[in-house]
């Protein structure tokens, strides 16, 4: 979804903003984070979102279980077990990053907060967040053993 943002009284310029783009996508598109850091952030966000899902309360429409065998696909994790596993992975990644770096990491990657808004929320000076975020993403990439 795109939205045209204009300043009042015709001052300034008009810009088109992609509201579906995450702050991490924005940073990647402009070369502020590399592919390894981006992949680490996406994995962390995926684990966060999976861990945040609530339990299913409706009927499941999954296909009937297939007959097992050597060539059969492995059984997928039960949704509850997958959620627990994602929560453990997320907690381990945040612990690996450390307390000082995890604040900006969670705000930008998981909560989808813009970098400047995250800096203001943490009381940091402007443009300090990008450096700290890149350090945090490097630690997450090391934790996930990304090359």
Distance separating alpha carbons of residues 9 and 7, to the nearest angstrom: 7
Q: How many residues does the chain have?
A: 147
As to burial, measured by CB atoms within 10 angstroms (0-12 exposed, 13-18 middle, 19+ buried), residue 58 is exposed
Nearest to 116 by CA among 20, 1, 26, 47: 26
Distance separating alpha carbons of residues 114 and 24, to the nearest angstrom: 9
Q: pLDDT tens track of the chain, all 147 residues?
A: 555 555 555 566 655 656 568 999 999 999 999 999 999 999 999 999 999 887 666 776 767 666 666 666 666 667 788 899 999 999 999 999 998 899 999 999 999 999 999 999 999 998 899 999 999 999 999 999 998
DSSP state of 32: S
Count of CB atoms situated within 10 Å of the CB of 93: 22
HSE-CB of 66 using CA atoms within 13 angstroms: 9
Determine the pLDDT at residue 16.
60
> Could you tell me which residues come within 8 angstroms of residue 137 by beta carbon, excluding any fewer than 6 positions away?
33, 37, 38, 40, 41, 105, 109
């Amino acid at each position: 979804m795109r939205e045209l943002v204009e300043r009042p009284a015709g001052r300034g310029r008009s810009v088109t903003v992609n509201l579906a783009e995450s702050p991490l996508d924005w940073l990647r598109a402009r070369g502020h984070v590399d592919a390894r850091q981006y992949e680490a952030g996406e994995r962390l966000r995926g684990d966060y979102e999976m861990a945040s899902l609530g339990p299913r309360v409706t009927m499941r429409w999954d296909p009937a279980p297939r007959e097992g065998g050597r060539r059969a696909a492995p059984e997928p994790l039960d949704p509850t077990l997958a959620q627990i596993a994602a929560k453990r992975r997320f907690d381990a990644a945040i612990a690996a990053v450390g307390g000082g770096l995890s604040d900006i990491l969670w705000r930008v990657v998981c909560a989808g907060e813009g970098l400047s808004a995250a800096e203001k929320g943490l009381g940091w000076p402007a443009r300090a967040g990008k450096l700290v975020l890149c350090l945090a993403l490097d630690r997450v990439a090391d934790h996930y053993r990304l090359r």
